[in-house]
Amino acid sequence: MSLLMDIVEGATEPLDFGLTVRLYGATADTPIDLTGLNVQIILKDGRGVLVTDSSSGVTVTNSTAGLVRYSPTSGDFVATKTPYRVRFRVIDGLTKTLYHPNADEGLIAVHTV
């Protein structure tokens, strides 16, 4: 798992993520084109307890660049439950599903004030 970011407990500033995929044979990641797709966040605390699994608070900020923003509530991130694990579910109109990342979830470290 790789550390994506550090935040402070209770923070509600939007968190920005770039969703990419490594195409077969490629040497670099390519942004996922999110045009017309539904993006959901799957957020778990450090013990693996589900915090949220929803499209609520998730906004696609740049479809073709694969950029999404998550706006957490003040109770989403608690330092005693760090590190949080995050993954995104991307669903097309035919209900085909892609997860990002496919391998280990990304980590968000939460610190006290």
The residues, any chain, with a CB within 8 Å of residue 112's CB and separated by 6 or more, are 8, 9, 79
pTM of the model: 0.90
> Which domains does the chain show, CATH number per domain?
3-111 (2.60.40)
- List pLDDT tens digits, range 47-86: 999 999 999 999 999 999 999 999 999 889 999 999 999 9
